[in-house]
């Protein structure tokens, strides 16, 4: 995963599953839709979302989606 432009800030490492969830959040899917697609529970999806928000120091899903788009994570994920 590429980092943001050289702003001196290091991008926190996300797990592969957190990145999968992040890509789908950026596409506008709900927790239940993401859960169906990844074959996990919607509570697990919410756990990944909360963990990602914490790691990236963001406050909500809108900020999370914006982050994903700005970092090129809104494209097709490998299935």
pLDDT in tens, the chain (79 residues): 444 444 545 568 999 999 999 999 999 999 999 999 999 999 999 999 999 999 999 999 999 999 999 999 887 554 4
Residue linked to tokens 């928000």 = 53
52: CB partners within 8 A, 6+ apart? 14, 18, 21, 22, 58, 64
Rounded Cα–Cα distance for residues 27 and 16 (Å): 17
Q: What is the pLDDT of residue 4?
A: 45
Q: What is the pLDDT of residue 3?
A: 45
Q: What is the pLDDT of residue 6?
A: 47
């Amino acid at each position: 995963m590429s980092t943001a432009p050289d702003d001196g800030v290091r991008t926190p490492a996300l797990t592969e599953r957190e990145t999968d969830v992040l890509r789908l959040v950026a596409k506008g899917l709900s927790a239940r839709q993401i859960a169906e697609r990844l074959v996990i529970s919607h509570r697990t999806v919410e756990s990944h979302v909360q963990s990602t928000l914490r790691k990236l120091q963001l406050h909500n899903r809108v900020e999370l989606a914006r982050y994903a788009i700005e970092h090129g994570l809104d494209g097709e994920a490998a299935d």
